[in-house]
Each structure stands twice: as structure tokens, then as C-alpha cells.
Structure 1
């Protein structure tokens, strides 16, 4: 289950999200109801409504919480920057591909895409809390590397999106449709190493004229 240490003082709310997450993943967004969640939580629907106004609100809270956990696991690796761009990108790239291409994350992604068909605002919330936030964090790192003269990136955010694309693009569609299985450590390393080499070559500082 998607259970983390309780940072929120309201452990009841967190417990609701833990249970709802499993129901959404196992039953699907459409098939999960407020009544089902309340029954699994062990309280009444009125108690559930004290915390969330709707199933959509629960789902959005779950998505935002899940994205926050993912970001914490991945992008704290940029805290120890040093001056080695390749090493930093390799660390973040390997963690990123490992997490994103995992079986559980694929289940989440399919669930979110399915829910977004009915409720586009849920898809927007996911994109802003997950992919866009991650790209902005990486873009901030790349901007600092640019300011040090270590890369030549006029638009660090665009460069961040390009690096993420290099890391995941070849595997993503194959994983989403179930054509390939969760990548091994060796497969992740090979994919990210190739992405880092391509990125560093493309954004290497230009020699002075």
C-alpha cells in the first residue's frame, strides 16, 4: 500500500487516503464509491464527508500525495550538486526511470488517465503535481549549472523536459500497454547512461570564439 509516515496530524484523513488508494487501484475509479470507501474505513458516509466532499476530491488528494512522495524520493538527489553534471543527472535519471517504470506506477498512471477521461481536472491536477513539478525542480538544477558555466541551456525548463524524455521515451509506451515488463537494474542503467551522454553532448558549454 501507498503508506508513508504520518506527517499530517490528522491520521484519520491519511488512513482514508491509504484505503481509497487501494480501492482505486484494485477496483478502478468508476467502480469505487464513497459508500465502499466508508465501509472499508469502518465509519459512516457522513464521517467520510467530514473529510472529503466527493470521490473526486479523495482521488485528487491521493494523486497529489502520491506525486509528492515520488518527488521527495527522486529530486532530493539534486541537493548534493557538486560540479559534476553527469553524475547528478545519472543519479536522478536512474531513480526516475526505476520509479516511473515500476509496475505500481504504471497502474497509477493508467488509473489517472482513465479517470481524466471523465474528469479532466483530475488529469490536470496530476500533471501539475507530478510531471510538471518534477520538470521544474530539474529545471532549477539545470539553471544553476548553466549559471556556473557547466552547461549551455538557454531554457533550463525545456532542457529538463528533454532530459526526462530521453530517459523514459523508449520504454514508456511499451510499459503502458504491457508489452514489456518492469526494467531490470541493468536495463535502467543502460537507458539512463545513454540519455546522460546524449544530453551532456547536446548542452555542452560552447567554446569561446
Structure 2
């Protein structure tokens, strides 16, 4: 959540009885997360310390510690902000939708667009490069990101297919799209890349299971 969105949200809740103190607390937390996100993505997880975050924010270090008890907590908040933005983009094409190939096509294209955002690529590279040294980094990323996304996609498939088929299709789709992303970020030249052609080819080659009898 950006500082601006946080401010708007809490200004609205203030009208319902939330005081200025709570508003200021939420704004400061959003500011910390925004600063920390930039530092993590630019410098990496290991190089970003609580002291460095506090120094960049300015003011008392006690303020940072009042909001977060550790670097892991700060990073989790950064992940949550990223995943919330990511999820809203995906939910726009999945929420309230019953499975259909055209709806899945739109979701896949939106998924690819989100994965290829600069912030998503930087986050992915950081987790891959530092995850072995910091297992908590990889665990936080997986539980707050991919698992949440898979749950949403599986729910979309489950509107038509049984649970086992829905989970199998989710695994197939996520593996194909994230594999496509990994291949693209390795390419020295992405000119001429056609996301729609990739998605259409993928969908054309899926052997769709039988829908549930009551679907």
C-alpha cells in the first residue's frame, strides 16, 4: 500500500471514529515499508539492515522498532504490500468469474504482465540469489506470494472442475507462466516477444479434464 493510499484509507476510517494517532501510526508504517522496499530491491536482503532503514528514514531508531521487531518483519510487510498490489491485478480478471478459456487467457496475460514488472523481477532475483543463505527469506516469499496466488487460481478452476483437477491445472498454469517469465528475463533481447502467442499455444495444448457433473 502506498503512503497516499494508506492516508486516504485511514482518513476515511477516521470519519468513523479512528483518531489522528492511529492515522499517523498507519502513515509512518507505510512510509517505513516504502523505504524498506526500495532498499531491499536495490541493495539486497543481506545488505539492508534495520539501522540502515532507520538512518534512511531519519529521526529516532526507536520509531522503526516500535513498528517492527526485526528485519524479517519488515521484509514480510514489504512482501505483503507487493502481493496485495499483484493480487488486485489478478483478481480484476478472476473475481466472480466462472472458468472459461477466454477468462483464463485474460488471467494468464495479466499474470505475465505482473511478473514482468521491474519490482517483481528484482524481488524474484533477490529471493533466488539470497534464499539459500536466508531460508526465512524464501519461506516468507513463498507463503505470502505463490501460495496465495495458487489458492486464487485453484478457486477459479474449481468453479467447473473437481478439486484434484483444479489443483493439477493450477500447477500446470503457474509452472508454465513462471517458466516463461524465467526464460524471458534471461534473454538479452526481448524485442519481438509475443505474450499472447505463448498463452494461446499453451491453452491450445492443454488436455482439459471433464467438468464436474453439476458444473
TM-score by length of 2: 0.80
Change (3 A) 1:173 1:82: closer
User: 1:51 pairs with 67, 70, 80, which one?
Assistant: 67
Change (3 A) 1:182 1:62: farther
Change (3 A) 1:4 1:71: farther
Q: In the TM superposition, what whole-angstrom CA distance separates every residue of 1:130-167 from its partner, at most 9, and x where no partner exists? A: 111111111111111226xxxxx743112111012223
- How far has the Cα of 1:80 moved from its partner? 4.3
Alignment of 1:121-200 (within 5 A): 121-146=136-161, 154-175=164-185, 178-180=186-188, 187-199=194-206
Alignment of 1:9-158 (within 5 A): 9=23, 10-81=26-97, 85-146=100-161, 154-158=164-168
Native 8 Å contact 2:155 2:166 kept in 1: yes
Q: Distance in 2 between matches of 1:48 and 1:57?
A: 11
- After superposing on structure 2, the runs of 4+ consecutive aligned residues of structure 1 that deviate more than 6 Å are 1-4
Q: Distance in 2 between matches of 1:173 and 1:33?
A: 32
Native 8 Å contact 1:60 1:125 kept in 2: yes
Q: Distance in 2 between matches of 1:189 and 1:3?
A: 34
TM-score by length of 1: 0.82
Structure 2: runs of 5 or more not aligned: 11-22
Change (3 A) 1:174 1:77: closer
- Number of corresponding residues: 196
User: 2:210 pairs with 200, 205, 208, which one?
Assistant: 205
CA RMSD after TM alignment: 2.6
Query: Larger relative contact order (C-alpha < 8 A, sep ≥ 6)?
Result: 1
